[in-house]
Amino acid sequence: MSDRCFKCFKPMNSCLCKYTQEIDCGIKFVFLMHPKEAKRQRTGTGNLSHITLKDSEIIVGLDFAKNKRLNELLNDSKYFPVMMYPGEEAWTAKKEGFTHAVQGKTLLVLILDATWFCAKKMIEHNPFLLELPRFSFYGDYRSIFTFKREPRPEYISTIECCYYLIKELQTIDFVNKDVNPEPLMDVFKKMIIFQLQAENDRVLGLRPSTHNYDGKYKKIKEIPQFEFSKEFDD
């Protein structure tokens, strides 16, 4: 097993740290990470979001009701906490009264970092999270993580969630328009390319007698041609 980067947890030959650039958007992001997600070092985007977003935090667990750090944050008067979760009553950047409700406080955004199945289990264990003000998108987005199956097409990754939230809040000048959120997507695209390349290398290394579950040979996956910001070009 190859050595891994202690920051992005990827193998050193596909370390993503050099493709990251810190973003200071004035929002406090807190990622509530399922223990299973914390063990996934290949496809998870919560840690990449944390690396990129200044002052963000990861809290790993399943039951957060008595989590000391989370309760410190929720009870800190300088923050206005919201839970990223859809619903008719959820705030959006365009919903009247949002900026007035925040009233100059720092927006504290809680995001569940887990598979959608595990996220549902986290909500079952932590119903108090849905008692917090909810926040969602006014836009309709599709993930570029197309080779990863999700229950519904509008389900997007953690890092895309952060990206689109910042973009939408910039439309109402809640986040400074000079803030560039593209590093989130740039490092995500690099992760996708590295992951597909690794999968293709693995398939090419299989013996000809190796078949997948339906009896067909595994196919080489097409690697998308993404555009990148200049500072992330190889």
Give a yes or no: residue 193 inside a domain: no
Mean pLDDT of 201-209: 60
Enter the pTM of the model. 0.85
Residues 43-75: pLDDT tens digits? 579 999 999 999 999 999 999 999 999 999 999
Rounded distance between C-alpha atoms, residue 14 and residue 8, angstroms: 10
**Whole-number pLDDT of residue 203:** 67
97 burial level (CB within 10 Å; 0-12, 13-18, 19+): exposed
Q: Which domain holds residue 177?
A: 22-185
Residues 121-159: pLDDT tens digits? 999 999 999 999 999 999 999 888 766 655 555 679 999
Give a yes or no: residue 217 inside a domain: no
Asked if the model's pLDDT at residue 234 lies above 80, the reply is no
Give a yes or no: residue 151 inside a domain: yes
Provide the number of structural domains found in the chain: 1
Give a yes or no: residue 8 inside a domain: no
CA 184-101-178 angle, to 5 degrees, is 35
Give a yes or no: residue 202 inside a domain: no
Asked if the model's pLDDT at residue 176 lies above 60, the reply is yes
Give a yes or no: residue 214 inside a domain: no
Share of the chain above pLDDT 90, in %: 55
Give a yes or no: residue 79 inside a domain: yes
Give a yes or no: residue 222 inside a domain: no
